[in-house]
Amino acid sequence: MLTNGWNLTDYNDKRDSKATDWLTSLAGLVAQTKGVNLELSAEELTGKKDETQEVTVPGLYALIYDANGMISGVKQIMKF
In a domain, 73, yes or no: yes
Query: pLDDT tens, 15-28?
Result: 777 778 888 888 87
In a domain, 30, yes or no: no
Decide: 61 and 77 in contact? Cβ < 8 Å. Answer: yes
In a domain, 36, yes or no: no
In a domain, 42, yes or no: no
**68: domain range?**
56-80
In a domain, 23, yes or no: no
Query: pLDDT tens, 33-45?
Result: 666 665 666 666 6
In a domain, 28, yes or no: no
Rounded to two decimals, the pTM is 0.32
Number of structural domains, the chain? Answer: 1
Residues β-bridged to residue 7: 3
